Amino acid sequence: MKQSDLRKPATIIDVARRAGLSKSTVSNVIRGARGITTSTRERVEQAIDDLGYRPNALARQLVQQRASIFGVVSGDLSNPFFAEIMNEIEQYAATRDYRVMFCSAPSDMRDRLAGLRALLDHRVAGLLFLTQINDDDTRNLVASSRVPAVFVTCAAEWADIVCSDDVRGGVVATNHLISLGHTRIGYLADSLSEDEADRNRQIGYVQAMQANGLKPAVFHWKDGGMTDVREMPMKRLIGGSNRYTAFFSSNDFGAIALLDHADRLGVKVPEDLSVIGFDDVSLVSLRRINLTTMAQPKATMARLAVNMLAGRIAGDIQGGQVRQTIDCELIVRGSAAPARS
Amino acid sequence: MKQSDLRKPATIIDVARRAGLSKSTVSNVIRGARGITTSTRERVEQAIDDLGYRPNALARQLVQQRASIFGVVSGDLSNPFFAEIMNEIEQYAATRDYRVMFCSAPSDMRDRLAGLRALLDHRVAGLLFLTQINDDDTRNLVASSRVPAVFVTCAAEWADIVCSDDVRGGVVATNHLISLGHTRIGYLADSLSEDEADRNRQIGYVQAMQANGLKPAVFHWKDGGMTDVREMPMKRLIGGSNRYTAFFSSNDFGAIALLDHADRLGVKVPEDLSVIGFDDVSLVSLRRINLTTMAQPKATMARLAVNMLAGRIAGDIQGGQVRQTIDCELIVRGSAAPARS
DNA sequence: GTGAAAGCGCTAACAC
DNA sequence: GTGTTAGCGCTTTCAC
């Protein structure tokens, strides 16, 4: 493959000229249309090789009116959960010949929609949301763009969903704690309680607690009942005389943060405090973290989401909202132990 | 902003029609060309609003012959270091009005170049490599595409580079261990020793060792002198009678893995083994990890890289390879302690 | 089996 | 100031 030394990349016309054929014949060869003489094909392929020609995806998409790009709106990638899902999506999408553009959902109000707008301007074929968006502007933007969207690991009433069975997960996690003999079990929600996955896990938690005659207690990291999780209130919560002996965190990120608070306060896990998380982010299997958690099958979910989106795009999937729920699995490690009597 | 209920997104022609003006006048307004009557502008803006019109970025890029997308070739995003850099890049690029498409550098040989090729096919304005690529095919592909490329946190002889002062970092890290009284200090390299950042840190390590009359010893995770880091050899390495009392890992990922091995073997850190890493990935500041490490200024590096790439694209930067080196900083935490006498 | 021609949605001269 | 026109690189009928 020699490379042309021209400033600009070779176009289909350059190839046609070099092969002594027409534009459209070259196009036919490229697209693998049938009914082409072997000799013609070879001539075209030779020219393509000589020129190092690569079709311009922009031009192709413009005329075809369909792109082969997914737009992914993710949360902060420094949260390993998003990073891991993102990774799975990119990998699997590639096998389906889709590329991935991404923007992170900006937490700051200013220009909240800029990233999504840019994705849409590029006429992405579909949208994948990794983080909950409860924002009418977003919804309207997506709706009016008529681009199919799938929410992974989170929810919206207006688009397809792939998520784990969060309610059941919440029940299982809570029951695990209860079966360990804990009675004062708190639920630790994310700062933004608008997240439906979070809310569902919480529902499961409440169900399990009440089914066992226990009193649910929900806390938030930033606002809500817990003013703010700083040393002071935290200290009372997990170290005081009337402390909680176990916490179920709506996600591993929070669970790890809780672990860290406990460590700073000298509260021993799991002796004095049991913790169970949700997600099974890869690093929690480290001996030093060793977090008992509900595992979400990230790879599976990523695949399902990609397939669902591809199905919508192809028109194989039609009609109203599709909701695909996956079972999650309790991974017992060392952060939750029997309550002391 | 009402939305049109037509199947297809509104085009500039729809806007022109609705405003009773021509295509190019609308284009002029959109692009902010000067010399337009206020009333005309308002009419256009009204029509745009009515139709929910958004310019088609594909068409724009096709005619302008320049895209506003960066292609990022990253390593596995489940490595937090890549995820964090990626995040910084996306955020900062957005402020410069660049979007990000990404593909992860596939480790499997088959179709190693597919991702990069797709990026190039989409005529990305520039390329950002987060992971070392020592592959002639890749080099040729990028070279013949004439798309500027910047390597972040890694190196190549044929493109611009933004990296930390790895040699000095290696010296500083090693000296820290030496000043703690350690003499048997090992260096733990990544599996692929072709990484130049890795190699430079190693050079720094060797320099510091030799300057202090100490004997360097380099180990690799997968191949090389250490057959394979499984329990057995690892056990001898950090637990035997002639063990190493300290290790400098070329990156935090490896340092954490080492920590985990030590934990499994019952080797106490930092009492029996001191560990120092490189990168300062966010999670190592957790009490439970508490890793002493050389911090790379990830945000700064991401910015510099984006600016450098933008500079190349704009033609502000011309000529041969530019190499920008940033200082890294020792963050003393709890994983390295004085050697026992 | 191959080629001519009409766009896809937009920008950027250049006329009017 | 605003409109006309000629593409950007490609796909896709539809003739030949």
CA of B56 to C1' of C14 (A): 25
Q: Say yes or no: Cβ of B145 under 7 A from any atom of strand D.
A: no
Measured CA to C1', what is the nucleotide nearest B11? C9
Alpha helices in chain A (DSSP H): 12-19, 23-30, 38-51, 57-64, 80-95, 114-121, 136-145, 166-179, 196-211, 231-239, 252-265, 298-314
Residue of A nearest to B78 (CA): A84
Give the residue from B2, B7, B53, B58 with the most A CB atoms within 10 Å of its CB, the best one to mutate.
B58
Which one of A4, A99, A289 has the shortest CB-CB distance to B288? A289
DSSP state string for B103-130: EEPPSSSTTTTHHHHHHHHTT-SEEEE-
Q: Which residue has the tokens 């060792």?
A: B209
Residue of A nearest to B3 (CA): A144
3-class state of residue A158 by DSSP:
coil
**Protein residue with the closest CA to the C1' atom of nucleotide C1:** A36
Provide, as residue numbers in chain B, all residues whose Cβ is less than 8 Å from the Cβ of A10: none
Q: Which residue has the tokens 């490229």?
A: A30
- As a whole number of Å, the CA-based R_g of chain A is 26
**Chain CA centroid to CA A23, Å:** 42
CA of A17 to C1' of D12 (A): 20
Largest CA distance in chain B: 88
- As a whole number of Å, the CA-based R_g of chain B is 26
| Contact yes or no for A108/B94 (Cβ under 8 A) | no
A121 touches chain B (CB under 8 A): yes
CA of A120 to C1' of D9 (A): 22
**Rounded distance between C-alpha atoms, residue A176 and residue A333, angstroms:** 12
Degrees (nearest 5) of the Cα angle B99, A151, A319?
115
Measured CA to C1', what is the nucleotide nearest B64? C11
Strand D and chain B: which residues 34-53 have CB closer than 7 Å?
Answer: 35-37, 39-40
Give the single-character DSSP code of A237: H
Cβ contacts below 8 Å, chain A against chain B, sum to: 160
Q: What pLDDT is stored for residue B26 in this prediction?
A: 95
A78/B84 CB distance under 8 A: yes
Residue of B nearest to A54 (CA): B121
Output helix, strand, coil percentages for chain B, rounded to the nearest 5: 45, 15, 40
CATH class of A3-55: mainly alpha
3-class state of residue A288 by DSSP:
coil
B9/A146 CB distance under 8 A: yes
CA of A69 to C1' of C12 (A): 29
Q: Give the domain ranges of chain B.
A: 3-55, 66-163+298-326, 166-297
Contacts of B142 (CB under 8 A, 6+ apart): B116, B120, B127, B149, B158, B159
Which CATH number fits the domain B166-297, given the four candidates 3.40.30.10, 3.40.430.10, 3.40.50.2300, 2.60.40.740?
Answer: 3.40.50.2300
CA of A63 to C1' of C6 (A): 12
**Rounded distance between C-alpha atoms, residue B204 and residue B177, angstroms:** 13
**Chain CA centroid to CA A219, Å:** 24
Q: Is B166-297 the same fold as B3-55?
A: no
Across the beta sheet with B126-129, the strand order is: A323-326, A160-164, A149-152, A126-129, A69-74, A99-104, B99-104, B69-74, B126-129, B149-152, B160-164, B323-326
| Contact yes or no for A136/A180 (Cβ under 8 A) | no
B123/A57 CB distance under 8 A: yes
B78/A282 CB distance under 8 A: yes
Which pLDDT tens digit goes with each residue over B245-302? 999 999 999 999 999 989 988 999 999 999 999 999 999 999 999 999 999 999 999 9
Measured CA to C1', what is the nucleotide nearest A22? C3
**pLDDT averaged per 10 residues in sequence order, chain A, 341 residues:** 62 95 95 89 95 95 93 91 95 94 76 89 96 87 93 90 96 98 93 80 97 93 49 70 91 92 92 96 94 97 97 92 96 96 74
**Rounded distance between C-alpha atoms, residue A76 and residue A61, angstroms:** 30
Burial of residue A156, with CB atoms counted within 10 A of its CB: 0-12 exposed, 13-18 middle, 19 or more buried: buried
Q: What pLDDT is stored for residue B6 in this prediction?
A: 53
Which CATH number fits the domain B66-163+298-326, given the four candidates 3.30.530.20, 3.40.50.2300, 3.30.1360.180, 3.40.640.10?
Answer: 3.40.50.2300
Q: Say yes or no: Cβ of A30 under 7 A from any atom of strand C.
A: no
| Contact yes or no for A167/A198 (Cβ under 8 A) | no
Give the residue from A30, A58, A123, A287 with the most B CB atoms within 10 Å of its CB, the best one to mutate.
A58
A150 DSSP β-pair partners: A128, A160
Residues of chain B falling short of pLDDT 50 = 1-5, 223-228, 230-231
Measured CA to C1', what is the nucleotide nearest B60? C10
A256 touches chain B (CB under 8 A): yes
Degrees (nearest 5) of the Cα angle A193, A197, A202?
65
**Protein residue with the closest CA to the C1' atom of nucleotide D11:** A63
Provide, as residue numbers in chain B, all residues whose Cβ is less than 8 Å from the Cβ of A3: 140, 143-144
Which one of A143, A264, A287 has the shortest CB-CB distance to B260? A287
Q: State how far the alpha carbon of A238 is from the alpha carbons of A115, A249, A341, B287, in Å.
A: 40, 14, 17, 17
**Chain CA centroid to CA A209, Å:** 29
Burial of residue A192, with CB atoms counted within 10 A of its CB: 0-12 exposed, 13-18 middle, 19 or more buried: middle
Q: Say yes or no: Cβ of A62 under 7 A from any atom of strand C.
A: yes
| Contact yes or no for A215/A209 (Cβ under 8 A) | yes
Residue of A nearest to B113 (CA): A94
**Rounded distance between C-alpha atoms, residue A312 and residue A304, angstroms:** 12
Q: Which residue has the tokens 């009609």?
A: A319
B58/A62 CB distance under 8 A: yes
Measured CA to C1', what is the nucleotide nearest A14? D9
Contacts of B128 (CB under 8 A, 6+ apart): B70, B71, B72, B73, B89, B149, B150, B152, B305, B306, B309
Its pTM stands at 0.92
Phi (first) and psi of residue A35, to 5 degrees: 90, 45
Selected residues 203-242 of chain B with any CB under 8 Å from a CB in chain A: none
Which pLDDT tens digit goes with each residue over B55-80? 999 999 999 998 999 999 998 898 89
Selected residues 286-315 of chain A with any CB under 8 Å from a CB in chain B: 286-289
Residue of B nearest to A63 (CA): B59
Q: Is the dihedral of CA B202, B205, B207, B210 positive or negative?
A: negative
CA of B66 to C1' of D11 (A): 22
Selected residues 126-185 of chain B with any CB under 8 Å from a CB in chain A: 140, 143-146
